[in-house]
Amino acid sequence: MKVDVLIGLQWGDEGKGKITDVLTPEYDIIARFQGGPNAGHTLEFNGIKHVLHTIPSGIFHPDKINVIGNGVIIDPYTLAKEIKKLRERGAEPTRNLRISKRAHLIVPTHRLLDNVQEAAKGTSKIGSTLKGIGPAYTDKTARHGLRIGDALSPNFKDQFYTQKALHQTIIESYKPSQELLSIEQMSADDYEKLWFEGLDYISDIPLIDSEIFLNQSIREGKKILAEGAQGTMLDVDFGTYPFVTSSNTITAGVCSGLGISPQSIGRVFGIFKAYCTRVGSGPFPTELLDETGDELRKQGNEFGSTTGRPRRCGWIDLPALKYAVMLNGVTDLVMMKADVLDGLDQVGVCIKYKIGEELFDMPAYETMNSDIVPMIENHKGWKTEISGFRRWNELPGELREYIDYIETELKAPVSVVSLGPNREQTIVRNVL
Ligand code: GDP
Ligand code: IMO
Ligand code: MG
């Protein structure tokens, strides 16, 4: 049995949470392989909206196992809050959630480091979610991180305070203001107390050798879906560096983030919005700084699920999508939020980039760090409310032509179309 993968093809927030939840009935296990609480994955069903940060989006299906893999980084404070909320809503994660012992911890001082290092960047700041992601992954690769499995050791507190002392020296060197020394509107000491309470609260969730569990499950014929966080253009190697996150968000990250061999990868679902958004700083060639951009933000409710920040909005970017399809080995496309474009006379598509006299059809190193002029081609809008449709042949002709065009350009079929935030507002064309 193979491991299928769901990857964001843009700058995150494509709708990975919703589609993971929709696809979960087809799988036995859902696994997150990278990222941490910088992610905000939204699911809606039975009139309730859920936002998950660290927990895989299959969690609302009690008979499916959800795994937080070794490549994920965990803040026990956030994870405990997520678990409490799930319990309030009737779910019991001790039954269907498992955590890799090898997953690294985000400690309170990682969050302070994120605060001071972002502030020190001044106008070139990345727009980090300030969840401690960069510093925690830095410690992992610098080989002095703490893993959640270490919390079981009697020496854990010693390790924690040794690391904290190291961090404090760095933090003090930035001569930070008092404001930068608070976390979630609390003093660092208060936060640290809640952090340890969180660690204690989550201690009933089984810690496992997830790489062994997952490989055994593959051998037993179980179906696994790996749920990505962030998006391809935020990948630390191939995204718009340095305006990226600190992990490999692409399919390759599944192998290292779960301990799965490349031969085990099956279908790769590449998910994208029918337009494009980005939250935080950095290049965004098709960004619309006019009323159309404002309209997309309003209609699409484009405000960050984790930070509440307004998302930058623009047209779909085919060169960036082609690049993402190439990097991820996408076999199936998933198109989200076409309903947001219902009222538009024309829908723009960026077909190439122009820099000076030269045209580029891929976001090569030079292009993403230059002043790019996107070459926009307009497609006729469908001017029909589509959110109530449930069948492919109900969709307006102009929308079907738009989808056909994207399939031809990206050389992969659009297997799922999403027409609203709710679980039901989905058309699955190519049945799994
Ligand atoms: P993720 O991070 O990729 O899981 O995406 P987010 O949850 O951060 O952002 C996607 C947003 O779009 C959420 O508010 C979803 O409820 C919403 N959403 C998902 N699919 C659709 C859709 O097809 N149409 C509309 N209008 N909203 C959608
Ligand atoms: P999901 O999984 C959108 C962005 C931040 C910032 C940059 C680095 O919900 O799609 P970090 O906190 O990782 O150091 O921030 O990456 N970013 C996201 N943007 N969706 C996300 O996750 C993101 N996670 C991080 O805004 O620009
Ligand atoms: Mg999100």
Query: pLDDT-derived band of residue 370, with 50, 70 and 90 as boundaries?
Result: confident
pLDDT at 431: 62
Cα 167 to ligand 1 centre (Å):
36
Instruction: Provide the phi-psi class of 13: left if phi over 0, else alpha when psi is between -120 and 50, else beta.
Output: left
N-term to C-term CA, the chain: 14
Residue 99 has pLDDT above 70, yes or no: yes
Q: What is the dihedral of CA 391, 324, 73, 94, to 10 degrees?
A: 20
Ligand in closest contact with the CA of 311: 2
Residue 209 has pLDDT above 70, yes or no: yes
| Residue 4 to residues 145, 172, 213, Cα–Cα distance (Å) | 30, 45, 16
SS (H, E, C) 158-192: HHHHHHHHHHHHHHHHCCCCHHHHEECCEEHHHHH
Residue pLDDT, tens place only, 30-48:
999 999 999 999 999 999 9
Tokens standing for residue 106 = 């985000």
pLDDT at 369: 72
Query: Ligand 1 atom 12: the closest Cα is on which residue?
Result: 15
DSSP 305: T
Nearest to 66 by CA among 41, 32, 105: 32
| Residue 277 to residues 8, 128, 289, 420, Cα–Cα distance (Å) | 12, 16, 12, 17
What distance in Å separates the CA atoms of residue 313 and residue 71, rounded to the nearest whole number? 30
Ligand in closest contact with the CA of 39: 2
Q: How many residues make up the chain in this entry?
A: 432
| H helix count then E strand count, the chain | 12, 22
Cα 218 to ligand 2 centre (Å):
31
Pocket test for ligand 1, best of 9, 18, 423 (most atoms within 8 A of CB): 18
Query: Ligand 2 atom 11: the closest Cα is on which residue?
Result: 128
Ligand in closest contact with the CA of 37: 2
Residue 367 has pLDDT above 80, yes or no: no
Query: Ligand 1 atom 11: the closest Cα is on which residue?
Result: 15
Query: pLDDT-derived band of residue 393, with 50, 70 and 90 as boundaries?
Result: very high
pTM over 0.85: yes
Residue pLDDT, tens place only, 332-358:
999 999 999 999 999 999 999 998 888
pLDDT at 92: 93
DSSP 35: B
Cα 133 to ligand 2 centre (Å):
9
What distance in Å separates the CA atoms of residue 158 and residue 160, rounded to the nearest whole number? 5
Percent over 90 (pLDDT), the chain: 92
Residue 181 has pLDDT above 70, yes or no: yes
What distance in Å separates the CA atoms of residue 75 and residue 57, rounded to the nearest whole number? 18
Beta-carbon contacts of 70 under 8 Å, excluding residues fewer than 6 positions away, are 100, 101, 102, 103, 210, 211, 257, 258, 259
Rg (CA), the chain: 21
Q: In degrees rounded to 5, what are phi and psi of residue 404?
A: -55, -45
Cα 278 to ligand 3 centre (Å):
10
Tokens standing for residue 201 = 């609260």
Is the distance from the beta carbon of residue 9 to the nearest atom of ligand 2 less than 6 Å? Answer: no
Query: Ligand 2 atom 13: the closest Cα is on which residue?
Result: 245
Residue 7 has pLDDT above 80, yes or no: yes
Q: Where are the beta strands (DSSP E) in 233-327?
A: 265-273, 276-278, 312-314, 316-317
Nearest to 317 by CA among 373, 237, 262: 373
Q: Active-site residues: which are they?
A: 13, 41
Residue 432 has pLDDT above 70, yes or no: no
Is the distance from the beta carbon of residue 255 to the nearest atom of ligand 1 less than 6 Å? Answer: no
